[in-house]
Amino acid sequence: MSEEHQAFIKTPKQLITVVVLSFVVPVLLIVVLVKYVGASKRTGAGSDAMTAEAIEARIQPVARFELKGAGGPKALAAGADVYKAQCAACHETGAAGAPKFGDAAAWGPRIKTGYDALLNSALKGKGAMTAQGGGNFEDVEIGRAVVHMANAAGAKFEEPKAPAGAAAAAAGTPAGAAPGAAAAPAPAERTGEQVVAQACGNCHQTGENNAPKVGDRAAWSQRVARGLPAMVESALRGHGNMPARGGMANLSDAEVRRGIEYMFNVGVTATK
């Protein structure tokens, strides 16, 4: 008999092996299929596609709204904490041309420009650095981080303090009052003329640092063309040599706006 007609099973041992495999292999295939079907998402009857959780996940909007500060005023972060959270990514390594932390040679020319100029750059952004380093800290907190980095490189800047009203609110105590004392009525906000006298007049009364003088119609006409909202935003964030809020961190947004309105109105009506 030729080889091609010889039987595959020649011994009893081979026969037993074939019989066992004929049972084991189908069972294994069935187990694998069951696991595969059980692990896949079911969309038909008996699935979890219509549960409350699944429906909520499908209709959830792409963007979410989160109300910040709902629990009341927060305690302002220290400069070192702001640095670690926001600034270290670049200033620790010198990425994107940022002066490295503690590098006196790199920080020296910047320190010479003064704290206000450094703060203004941090708040508005400069070069590859976005406004406020891309974060969402308060202006005072950013100022503290600036002082932390500059002082580590040899500066002697004083860390900005929290506005008296904000610090008292965060502590739950009226400004100047002992803990547990009854809250005093909030002080009346300053008028536009008072804001200019206390914060803006140093430059805007004399024209120092190219600031448009109060009452100078020609100097104010270009600013007026941008519109009042843009002028107010520049005052809040700082612009050119002007620090944020005219260097008075405790000025409220409304007070800054009054000051701008005062200079705006005087500037455009002085020659009428």
Domain containing 265 — which CATH number?
1.10.760.10
Tell whether 84 and 167 lie within a shared domain.
yes
Q: Is residue 72 part of a domain?
A: no
Q: Are 165 and 84 in the same domain? A: yes
Q: Is the same domain home to 166 and 198?
A: no
Q: Is residue 2 domain-resident?
A: no
> Which pLDDT score is estimated for 221?
76
Q: Tell me which residue range forms the domain holding 228.
A: 192-269
Instruction: Assess whether 143 and 204 both reside in one domain.
Output: no
State whether 128 and 210 are in the same domain.
Answer: no
pTM assigned to the model: 0.40
Q: Give a yes or no: residue 67 inside a domain.
A: no
Q: Is 106 exposed, middle or buried (0-12, 13-18, 19+ CB in 10 A)?
A: middle
At 90, list the tokens: 């670049």
CA torsion angle 58 64 69 74 (round to 10) = 90
- How far is 9 from 18, CA to CA, in rounded Å? 9
Going residue by residue through the chain, which has 272 residues, state the pLDDT in tens, using 9 for 90 and above: 445 556 667 788 888 888 888 888 888 889 888 887 766 555 555 556 666 666 666 666 555 544 444 455 567 888 888 888 878 888 888 877 889 999 999 999 998 888 888 888 888 877 777 776 656 778 888 888 899 998 998 989 888 887 665 554 455 554 455 555 544 555 677 888 888 888 787 788 888 878 888 877 778 777 777 777 888 888 888 877 788 887 777 888 888 888 888 887 775 544 33
**Which of 103, 138, 171 finishes a domain?**
171
In a domain, 34, yes or no: yes
Into how many domains does the chain fold? 3
- Asked if residue 163 belongs to a domain, the reply is yes
CA-CA-CA-CA dihedral for 136, 155, 78, 141, to nearest 10 = -30
- How far apart CA 263 and CA 218 sit, in angstroms, is 13
Q: Is residue 13 part of a domain?
A: yes
Pair (91, 51) in one structural domain:
no
16 and 50, same domain (yes or no): yes
- Written as six digits, the tokens of 89 are 């990514």
Same domain membership, residue 167 and residue 89: yes
**Whole-angstrom distance between the N-terminal and C-terminal Cα of the chain?**
126
Domain boundary among 171, 203, 233: 171
Q: Which residues contact 136 (CB under 8 A, 6 or more apart)?
A: none
Buried b (16+ CB within 10 A) or exposed e, 186-225: eeeebebeebbeebbbebbeeeeeebbbbbbeebbeebee
- Is 120 contained in some domain? yes
Put residue 163 in one of left, alpha, beta given phi > 0 → left and psi -120 to 50 → alpha: beta
Within a domain: 177:
no
Residues 265 and 196 in one domain: yes
207 and 264 belong to one structural domain: yes
